[in-house]
């Protein structure tokens, strides 16, 4: 399966099956390491829990990201509070790392009052102004020109904000990807293009997506650096993202980073990858667990030992259980929220609909809109 670059050609910090590091470890405090490890564990634990909830019919839809924890956390943890995240489907772990509360995360999946968007979006479209996390765009790659616009605006304002624009390998076949890279580079906009190349776009394998030797190489056509990184190596992801960030802050414009990783699960809870993916053909190195690689490093550096990890897991578990219990029992958004958040003053025609919506005579459950 020619889905991936050879592992020896990728930037690496954590050694992999005899392949040495190609770059130095980023300088991080023990606390930063623990925060990153915690966020990676949280993604893995939520993934398992949410897929179970979906199978039990308690939530409608979920997009798993197991196996991609290093690419998600290694990059997202570089963003500062003032920066903005324009995600694709699998970066909710970045929002959580930035402090997005679990109650709101679950509330979004249930579509209830705890959801900052009041249940108006499809599940997985998390968004929060508080943590500067824009909703993912369902139409693939449309977030990229939007991210460039936000970055260009930041440049004009001169406020030092950097935009983190995430995409999958499949998004690189969309025209929006090319327009975005072109304008970002011409304008030297402070935007990082962070591509999680997980080998698949639903059932389309990478070799059918492009004839290029990977994605990073596409950057040169637009006059920006492109770097292919071992996306299962959280420290390589962190180091390269920091380099790109520093470059953006110097006013030198965008970088395209390709994090080569692997989608372990289905595309979503609606997908069955066994129908199109031959598990025997998977390049073995992409299956080396990113969590285990980081764990080995943290153990050898005496940063997180077995007992420390147990404490982190227990804390995460109780935080998840408590937030889920609250979120699952929260009310649905009230009817009037259908009409709010768009106009400062509700116009008369909407006001009339709002008034009549309150007088539902269809006999449906309270709160259901009379369609």
Ligand X SMILES: Cc1ncc(C[n+]2csc(CCOP(=O)(O)OP(=O)(O)O)c2C)c(N)n1
Q: Which residues bind ligand X (CB under 6 A)?
A: 88-90, 138-140, 168-171, 198, 200-202, 263, 267
Report which residue's Cβ sits closest to ligand X.
168
Closest CA to 92 of 59, 118, 66, 111: 66
Query: Minimum CB separation from Mg ion for residue 197, in Å?
Result: 7
Query: Minimum CB separation from ligand X for residue 126, in Å?
Result: 15
- Here the tokens at position 272 are 């069955």
168 contacts Mg ion (rule: CB under 5 A): yes
Q: Which is nearer to ligand X, 106 or 262 (CB)?
A: 262
169 contacts Mg ion (rule: CB under 5 A): yes
Sheet holding 255-260, edge to edge: 84-86, 163-168, 191-197, 255-260, 226-230
CA distances 291 to 36, 37, 73, 131, 273, Å, are: 10, 8, 11, 25, 23
Q: Which is nearer to ligand X, 93 or 170 (CB)?
A: 170
Q: Is 98 a catalytic residue?
A: no
145 contacts Mg ion (rule: CB under 5 A): no
Residue 90 interacts, among ligand X, Mg ion, none and using kind-specific CB cut-offs from 5 to 8 Å, with ligand X
Binding residues with Mg ion: total (CB under 5 A): 5
Q: Which is nearer to Mg ion, 71 or 114 (CB)?
A: 71
CA distance 155 to 246: 15
Residues 192-211 close enough to bind Mg ion by CB under 5 A:
198, 200-201
Q: Which of 263, 293, 294, 297 is catalytic?
A: 263
Q: Which is nearer to Mg ion, 47 or 169 (CB)?
A: 169
Closest CA to 106 of 322, 315, 323, 314: 323
Give residue for tokens 């996306």.
Answer: 231
Run of H or E including 3: none
Q: Which stretch binds Mg ion (CB under 5 A): 62-70, 88-96, 161-169, 277-285?
A: 161-169
| DSSP-based three-state secondary structure for 268 | coil
> For residue 70, which phi and psi values (nearest 5 degrees)?
-70, -45
- Compute the chain's Rg from CA coordinates: 21
Query: Minimum CB separation from ligand X for residue 212, in Å?
Result: 14
Q: Is 157 a catalytic residue?
A: no
- So which residues are the catalytic ones? 263, 267, 276
């Amino acid at each position: 399966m020619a889905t991936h670059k050879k592992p020896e050609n990728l930037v690496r910090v954590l050694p992999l099956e005899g392949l040495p590091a190609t770059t130095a470890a980023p300088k991080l405090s023990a606390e930063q390491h623990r925060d990153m490890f915690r966020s990676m564990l949280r993604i893995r634990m939520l993934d398992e829990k949410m897929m179970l909830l979906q199978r039990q019919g308690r939530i409608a839809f979920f997009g798993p990201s197991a196996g991609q924890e290093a690419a998600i956390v290694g990059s997202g943890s570089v963003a500062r509070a003032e920066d903005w995240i324009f995600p694709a489907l699998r970066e909710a772990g970045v929002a959580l790392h930035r402090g997005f509360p679990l109650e709101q995360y679950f509330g979004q999946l249930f579509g209830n009052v705890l959801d900052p968007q009041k249940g108006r979006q499809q599940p997985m479209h998390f968004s929060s102004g508080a943590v500067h996390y824009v909703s993912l765009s369902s139409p693939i790659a449309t977030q990229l020109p939007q991210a460039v616009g936000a970055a260009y605006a930041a440049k004009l304002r001169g406020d030092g904000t950097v935009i983190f624009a995430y995409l999958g390998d499949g998004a690189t076949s969309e025209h929006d990807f090319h327009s975005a890279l072109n304008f970002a580079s011409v304008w030297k906009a402070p935007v990082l293009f962070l591509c999680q190349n997980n080998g698949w776009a639903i059932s389309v394998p990478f070799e059918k997506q492009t004839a290029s030797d990977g994605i990073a190489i596409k950057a040169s056509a637009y006059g920006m650096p492109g770097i292919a990184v071992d996306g299962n190596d959280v420290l390589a992801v962190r180091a390269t993202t920091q380099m790109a960030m520093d470059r953006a802050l110097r006013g030198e414009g965008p970088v395209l980073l390709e994090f080569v990783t692997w989608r372990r699960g289905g595309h979503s809870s609606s997908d069955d990858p066994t129908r199109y993916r031959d598990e025997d053909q998977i390049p073995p190195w992409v299956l080396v667990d990113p969590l285990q690689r980081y764990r080995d490093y943290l153990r050898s550096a005496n940063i997180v030992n077995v007992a420390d990890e147990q404490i982190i897991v227990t804390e995460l578990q109780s935080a998840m259980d408590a937030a889920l219990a609250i979120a699952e029992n929260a009310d649905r958004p009230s009817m009037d929220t259908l009409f709010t958040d768009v106009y400062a003053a509700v116009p008369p025609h909407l006001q009339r609909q709002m008034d009549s919506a309150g007088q539902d005579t269809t006999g449906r459950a309270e709160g259901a809109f009379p369609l």
